Chains A and B, each alone.
Chain A
Amino acid sequence: MQDIQEVQEWVATVPATEFETNGSNAVLVNGKQIAIYYFADTQEWYATDNECPHQKQQALSRGIIGSEGDEPKVACPFHKKSFSLKTGQCLSGEDYKVNTYPVKVEDGVVYLGI
């Protein structure tokens, strides 16, 4: 899992079992859409804004997750631009960036650091 950045607040979402395995879901936190990614095979969790910076679509939770080299990533379903789940940096050669958030699982519940 990524370094725990400075977290203002840990928001409980839902039990880990509610999440797509080796996939992603969106959650709504304080009116904002956030995408949570779950690599079940390696027990890694990541989170980013759901909005793709390319055409501002609420879409990343509907993309396919995977890796490029060692970097875990998601590819937007609209135009297949990829984003690192660790840094939020676009990996398709453009200067887009999405916000990332820390995720932790406690007592089976998934928490998001906002």
Chain B
Amino acid sequence: MSEKKKIIVVGNGMTGYKFCEKFIEKGLNNIYSITVFGEEPWAAYDRVHLTDYYTGTDVHDLKMAPRAWYEENGIELRTSYKITSINREAKQVINVHGDAFDYDALVLATGSSAFVPPIPGVDKKGVFVYRTIEDLDAIKAYIPQAKSAAVIGGGLLGLEAAKAVMDDGLKTSVVEFAPRLMPRQLDEAGGEMLKSELEKLDLDILLNKATKNICGNGKVTNMQFADDSTLDTDMVVISAGIRPRDELARESGLTVGERGGILVSDDMLTSDPNIYAIGECALAQGAIWGLVAPCYDMADVCAETLLGKEAAFTGADLSTKLKLIGIEVASFGDAFGVTEGAIPIVYHNIVSGIYKKIYVSADGQYLLGGILVGDAEDYNMLYQTYNSKIKLPKNPEGLIIKGTDGGFELSVLDLPDEAVICSCENVTKKSLIEAVDEFDFTQVSQLKKATKAGTGCGGCVPMLDDLLTAKLEASGKVVKKVICEHFDYTRQELFDLIKVGEIKSFSALLEKYGKGKGCEICKPLSASLLASIWNEHITEHANIQDTNDRFLANIQKGGTYSVVPRIPGGEITPDKLIVIGQVAKKYDLYTKITGGQRVDLFGARVDQLPDIWKELIDAGMESGHAYGKSLRTVKSCVGSAWCRYGQQDSVSFAIKVEERYKGLRSPHKLKGGVSGCIRECAEARGKDFGIIATDKGYNLLVCGNGGANPKHALLFATDVDEETCIKYLDRFLMYYIKTATPLTRTSKWLEQLDGGIEYLKEVVIEDSLGIAAQLEEDMQQTVNTFACEWKKVIESPELLKKFKPFANTEAVDDTIQFVPMREMKKPANWG
């Protein structure tokens, strides 16, 4: 045991972690023991997806592996542990307290730090970099006192950082030294297109700007540029490139590059035969490699070398796809067409914001590289065509211009076996196919787990999906999106099975068609199906519901719930408003006007919910279903009753529509809007269904969405009367309920519907499937059997019992804590 030689790894970043993985995978653990030192307090995390942390993902979800993984594999991991020097003679690394650790082989994986240019004022309060979890915490903490931000650097990372702070509500500017954005990846026209698209998102872009000074008394207030212009800003995020962390190596006399980086040969050895360097700190093949794929490659080569095998890092392809939400950007291969004789093909559409340029070899046979802005859907296939040197068809413009003659439809299965599909993990098409064949995979998640493909930057995941689908289709298997490990059926199939088999409970469904005990995916899904098919009270299936449906309220931080009474069309009498106020006061609830024209009362304990609802119901109110996948609100504007422009009585119609569909259970929540004229004060075009008054009646629009991916609703019928409008809505909503996959809003459902809006019109308006009468009948049935869920609860002793916090005592939960906020309160912070 004690005879094992010792490897020490300094740095537990992505590369350091990858090395550990290779160490185990390749059996180096039979020869060596291993200790890893990491300066950061966390075990290695996925820096590539750091912005996910910024937008709310938990630290734990970003971890490359839990600590238990290191333990199980006998890897000693010491975090918050910085190594400060190397004694090469004694073969020891030393920390700040002088503790020394022996090594036989030392692997430096110290990564890099953000490059901070020597501009006066970079040390002021409000200046940040964007590299670690701590950096992001610091930015987050500063945001509340800032209104505007400037990001120095218009490259890949700078734009990612800019988008993040902008989404936090700051007026954001990007300051780039070069004459265009992403100068290393894009040409002039591409950079220009990206700039105008980003400006549409309200991002301010300043080009040709060299920052001369960051000014402010202690904290940042503005920036001065070399051209003497200035910019007022409350904070600055510097993203001007990276600096390899070679300080340990440098001080211990290892050879480092002129412009930084620990010099290594192709087998990852530094100038000391016992010391290796890998990842972003290494100067390999004359360059610093700032992407994960080459860093991982180096970890692999280093492990091979330690095994005594021949391996070499020979450089890597720097093709990239930007992860910016909203605007797609990619560049690959010879993106600037420097190859001799390269022939450019360009598609440039300023109206739709799409720019695609590819270069084809002089003989027209091969794709050399290209740039995509605005639409990078084909990136994976184009990249493969380039990388695998696939022969091009006669009219290569078909690669970027859809629908042209001689269009080029390449399937993943056409790629050569050795095509590298996942470049981060170096997984070839062949090994993916073998994995699918061997284990009969049917889901991408299985494939990811087994081959690691798609676990790095994630860019190849759509391709894995295509590959799996193509493979399954080719082998004659029906490809279907099964629900989870407990049911080999799609939602649609389960719907039919329940209906045809007259199944009334989850237990019966599981026994007949499922396996195992169910889970948090199939249970709520079945609950929603059972509820929409048998139109039963939702509490009938309380034990298979998500907490919100189980307690008929939305759960909040701290474990309390919210109460939202229905206020149809946003119209409410003063008396009801007074009752809401009185109830809120009595139970000390936080009150807020919602974005849906009603009032939300927050902070109720589960045992208080029935009492609160009783008071509201006694005053004539009903559940607002804010907790359910069901109709929320039908928002209205004041309309012709009061408004000088009103063309129809939008409030009355909104109330009528909301009353009709209230309580309707559906695959996802549903929202509607009715506006009294084209000025559209009810924002009906952002709803699942929108009704806009005209002088002749109403225009009906469907499948709009606010939320995460806003979409305007599409015109469906023009100048219809109220009756026709409701008829179409009945059919439309029922058709959606019957065919959409779970948690798919109408806008997404429409995207997936073959034939799109025109097909939907045929089904709903022209009744091309002959199901319209049935759809209407089903809807009428649901409308007829509506009952307020909360009314039922407060009248049933059996149901009331479910709101008791503890089975064995009448005590209330005293762990819930609040802190004061303005004149009300809020839950104490997490954990």
Contacts and interface: CB of A to CB of B under 8 A. Distances in A.
Contact of A64 (B511, B524, B802, B809): B524
Given A55-B831, A59-B559, A95-B67, A20 B543 contact: yes
B559 A93 contact: no
B507 interface: yes
Interface residues of B, number: 43
Contacts of B518: 64, 66-67
Interface stretch (A1-9, A73-81, A100-108): A73-81
A78 B555 contact: yes
A27 B543 contact: no
Contact of A26 (B58, B517, B542, B805): B805
B547 A62 contact: yes
A36 B2 CA distance: 47
A28 B812 CA distance: 10
Interface residue range, chain A: 35 or more
Interface in B736-786: none
B813 interface: yes
A22 B808 contact: no
A58 B58 contact: no
B101 to A, nearest CB: 25
B815 A33 contact: yes
Given A64-B523, A78-B555, A94-B63, A13 B808 contact: yes
A20 B543 CA distance: 7
Interface in B518-569: 518-520, 522-524, 542-547, 550-551, 555, 558-559
A94 B60 contact: yes
A14 B63 contact: no
B67 A64 contact: no
Nearest to A25: B807
Given A27-B808, A57-B559, A58-B559, A93 B523 contact: no
Contact of B813 (A54, A58, A95): A58
Contact of A66 (B486, B559, B831): B486
Interface in A39-79: 39, 41-42, 54-59, 62-69, 72-73, 75, 77-79
A23 interface: yes
Contacts of B58: 54, 79
Contacts of A78: 555
Nearest to A14: B808
Contacts of A36: 807
Interface centre among A39, A42, A55 (most CB of B within 10 A): A55
Nearest to B829: A55
Nearest to A38: B543
A11 to B, nearest CB: 9
Contacts of B485: 68-69
A78 B558 CA distance: 10
A64 B542 contact: no
B118 to A, nearest CB: 41
Contact of A68 (B519, B523, B808): B519
B713 to A, nearest CB: 31
Contacts of A96: 60
Given A54-B58, A95-B66, A19 B558 contact: no
A63 B519 contact: no
B73 to A, nearest CB: 14
B547 A23 contact: no
Contact of A94 (B66, B545, B547, B558): B66
Contacts of B520: 63-64, 66, 75, 80, 82
Contact of A28 (B517, B544, B559, B811): B811
B574 interface: no
A66 B807 contact: no
A58 B815 contact: yes
B501 to A, nearest CB: 18
A10 B550 CA distance: 30
A102 B287 CA distance: 59
A67 B542 contact: no
A79 B557 CA distance: 11
Nearest to A41: B507
A95 B66 CA distance: 6
A77 B63 CA distance: 22
Interface string B67-93: 110000000000000000000000000
A64 B551 CA distance: 13
A32 B748 CA distance: 45
Interface in B774-831: 802, 805-809, 811, 813, 815, 830-831
Nearest to B815: A58
A90 to B, nearest CB: 8
B516 interface: yes
B820 to A, nearest CB: 21
Contacts of A21: 543
A13 B807 contact: yes
A67 B61 CA distance: 21
Nearest to A26: B806
Given A56-B830, A67-B516, A20 B542 contact: yes
B519 A67 contact: yes
Given A64-B523, A67-B516, A68-B519, A23 B543 contact: yes
Interface of B: 58, 60-61, 63, 66-68, 485-486, 506-507, 510-511, 516-520, 522-524, 542-547, 550-551, 555, 558-559, 802, 805-809, 811, 813, 815, 830-831
27 contacts: A18-B807, A20-B543, A21-B543, A22-B506, A23-B542, A25-B807, A26-B805, A27-B806, A27-B809, A28-B809, A33-B813, A36-B807, A39-B517, A41-B510, A56-B830, A57-B558, A62-B555, A62-B559, A63-B547, A66-B486, A66-B517, A67-B519, A68-B519, A77-B546, A82-B519, A82-B520, A94-B60
Given A57-B559, A67-B516, 8 more contacts: A22-B506, A25-B807, A27-B806, A56-B831, A64-B519, A66-B523, A68-B519, A82-B520
